[in-house]
Amino acid sequence: MVKISVLQHTPSAHLPSRPGDPTPTSRNLDPLMHPFSRARERTRALNAAKMERLFAKPFVGSLEGHIDAVEVLCKKPGSLSTVASGSWDGGIMLHNLAERKQLHRIQGAHKGKVSGLCFGDGDRLLSCGVDSNIKLWNVAAQDEISEQKPLNVFPGKSPFNSIDHHRSDPLFATASNTVQIWDETKSAAVSNLTFPTSTETVTAVRFNLSETSVLGSIGSDRTFTLYDIRTGKAERRVVMQMRSNALAWSPTFPTSVLLASEDHNLYTFDVRQLSTPTHVYKAHVAAVMSCDWSPTGLEFVSGGWDRTVRIWKEGQGTGPEIYHTKRMQRVSSTLFSADARFVLTGSDDGNVRIWKAKASERLGIVTARERAAIEYRDTLKERWKWDSEVGKVSRARHLPKPVYQAAKLKRTMLDARSVKEDRRRKHTRAGESKPKAERKKVVIAEQS
């Protein structure tokens, strides 16, 4: 006898058992059941890339109030929302980022520009200015903004360029023509640190975040110097091709320091090995004026004379995210917020602007389903980034015309220079001049 059976679907297995229940789904992962899976995935990836650019609205808001250009920004340690900014008009403002509100305002804190700001422990703010004074302010929330008197004034001998507080001790360092260490309780500097042969003006000074007694400074004679306050002297310094405008220590990798250089590049150095930078970051088309690490240590932000803000991934030297607006002038200070989600910039037009660190990130509550969809889209973009169309969509950025033209001109000049170099090499004796790696060109001399 022949056994005969015919394929049958039981409706009970495929229909909801009660009205209102979700319809049961069934899966068959046989690739023959899913034709064009690659092509469809690519389409999805392309859509994801397009959606990312569609949703890329990085500008969150601006904090107004300064009359002149914003020179410095600093965030309060341990606080997600409090940020202080100092301006060329000598005013200092405290902002609450979450409410986008001004918390505190000190007008005429210094004569001339406020050149440095840092928070001490608690609600105390230290500021220094070109009027050769350091002032200590109490910025605790008060009802009346009556008294604008500093708690303490530390008079100095020459204009200050920068100030930074020690991680834990009540010490702070200032940069003028020398690096000075101050105690909050004493009115005169505790010690002076200079490199023996140095005649420079120190433009910025920063304490290392984990090796707390080490500090680094950059100066006008193109140097980066390391000091130790335990020994009370300068340890080492390197002289570079061009001067640096800002420095920042990595929050997660203690030996790594980031320098924003006048030659349009950013450099990370390993302080154990100062002869070459570990990485070169190239995209700005004018001098880089400021830089700051994300608290994760995986990203950093830089602002430049070319009126753009760039957000870099650590270890990825090209193709950073770029932010610009029509009205933003030269960016003199940048800051990553403490939750690594936002970026602050202070520029010559006197505004402090808040940007998202990821341009297309959605603010507000994201449900688990939405999160899964976002993660899926991110994976798709990552997987298909080598596809020419997907990559093009996710890489393309609109640049302001001056920046675009400057980049083009720079490219042309660099190309011409390297061609000239090639020609010269071709017409000299073989082996006489060897091409030099870009990283080796940066440091001129290392001194200790």
Partner 1 sequence: MDSLFAKADAIQPVRKKQKLSADFRKRNPPKSASSSLDRIVTSIAPHTSLPKSLRPTSPIPDNVSKHTHIKDLKLRTQLTRQAAHASRSKALLQDAELLLTGEAGQLQIENDMERTWRISQQEITTSVGQEAAKGRQEWKLDGGPYRSRYSKNGRHLALVGNMGHVATFDWQTGTMHAELQLQETCRDVTFLHDHSHFAVAQKKYVFIYDRDGVELHRLKFHLEPTRLEFLPYHWLLASVGNSGYLKYQDTSTGQLVVEHRTKLGACHTMAQNRHNAVIHLGHQNGVITLWTPNLPHPAVQLLAHVGPVKGLSIDPSSGGRYMATSGQDGTVKVWDCRNWKGAVREWVTRGGSAELEWSAKGSLAVATGGSVNVYTKPTIQTSLKAKANPPLYLTHPIPHRPLTSVRFCPFQDILTVGHSAGLSSILVPGSGEPDFDSSEADPFENKKARREREVKGLLDKIQHDMIALDPDFIGSLAPPTKLTTAVNDKNDTPFARLPRLEQKRKMRGKGKSLKRYLRKQRKNVIDPTAV
Question: Contact at 8 Å (CB) between 181 and 173?
Answer: yes
The Cβ-side half-sphere exposure at 262, using a 13 Å CA radius, reads 13
Show the binding pattern over residues 338-377: x = contacts partner 1 (CB under 8 A), - = does not: ------------------------------x--xx--x--
- 36 versus 147: smaller Cβ distance to partner 1: 36
- In this chain, which of 17, 23, 185, 197 binds partner 1, going by CB under 8 A? 23
Q: Is 47 in the site for partner 1 (CB under 8 A)?
A: yes
- 382 versus 446: smaller Cβ distance to partner 1: 382
Least Å from the CB of residue 339 to partner 1: 16
50 vs 67: CA distance, rounded Å: 40
374 vs 371: CA distance, rounded Å: 5
Least Å from the CB of residue 355 to partner 1: 23
Least Å from the CB of residue 369 to partner 1: 9
User: What would the two tokens of residue 19 be?
Assistant: 């009205």
Least Å from the CB of residue 42 to partner 1: 6
- In this chain, which of 121, 422, 438, 446 binds partner 1, going by CB under 8 A? 422
User: What would the two tokens of residue 306 be?
Assistant: 């070319």
Least Å from the CB of residue 264 to partner 1: 21
Plot region of 34 (φ>0 → left; ψ -120 to 50 → alpha; else → beta): beta
Question: Contact at 8 Å (CB) between 395 and 375?
Answer: no
- 121 versus 378: smaller Cβ distance to partner 1: 378
377 vs 371: CA distance, rounded Å: 10
Least Å from the CB of residue 126 to partner 1: 37
Least Å from the CB of residue 29 to partner 1: 5
Total number of residues that touch partner 1 (CB under 8 A): 45
Question: Contact at 8 Å (CB) between 444 and 241?
Answer: yes
Q: Judged by CB under 8 A, which stretch of 22-30, 222-230, 259-267, 401-409 contacts partner 1? A: 22-30
241 vs 444: CA distance, rounded Å: 6
186 vs 166: CA distance, rounded Å: 15
* C-alpha R_g of the chain: 27
- 145 versus 419: smaller Cβ distance to partner 1: 419
- In this chain, which of 18, 27, 401, 429 binds partner 1, going by CB under 8 A? 27
Q: Is 11 in the site for partner 1 (CB under 8 A)?
A: yes
- In this chain, which of 423, 428, 440, 445 binds partner 1, going by CB under 8 A? 423
Q: Is 34 in the site for partner 1 (CB under 8 A)?
A: yes
- In this chain, which of 3, 326, 398, 434 binds partner 1, going by CB under 8 A? 3
SS (H, E, C) 117-174: EEECCCCEEEEEECCCEEEEEECCCCCCCCCCCCCEEEECCCCCCEEEECCCCCEEEE
**CA 76, 69, 251: angle at the middle one, nearest 5?**
30
Sign of the torsion formed by the C-alpha atoms of 41, 44, 50 and 54: negative
- In this chain, which of 18, 39, 434, 436 binds partner 1, going by CB under 8 A? 39
Question: Contact at 8 Å (CB) between 243 and 219?
Answer: yes
44 vs 39: CA distance, rounded Å: 9
Least Å from the CB of residue 16 to partner 1: 9
Q: Judged by CB under 8 A, which stretch of 31-39, 86-94, 219-227, 259-267 contacts partner 1? A: 31-39
Question: Contact at 8 Å (CB) between 281 and 317?
Answer: yes
Q: Is 426 in the site for partner 1 (CB under 8 A)?
A: yes
Q: Judged by CB under 8 A, which stretch of 151-159, 332-340, 351-359, 416-424 contacts partner 1? A: 416-424
Helical (H) or strand (E) element with 190: strand 189-193
Least Å from the CB of residue 390 to partner 1: 10
Q: Judged by CB under 8 A, which stretch of 35-43, 219-227, 254-262, 276-284 contacts partner 1? A: 35-43
Q: Which of 207, 266, 228, 191 is nearest to 77 (CA)?
A: 207
159 vs 148: CA distance, rounded Å: 22
Show the binding pattern over residues 119-138: x = contacts partner 1 (CB under 8 A), - = does not: --------------------
Q: Which residues bind partner 1 (CB under 8 A)?
A: 1-9, 11, 14-15, 23, 25-36, 38-44, 47, 368, 371-372, 375, 384, 387, 415, 418-419, 422-423, 426
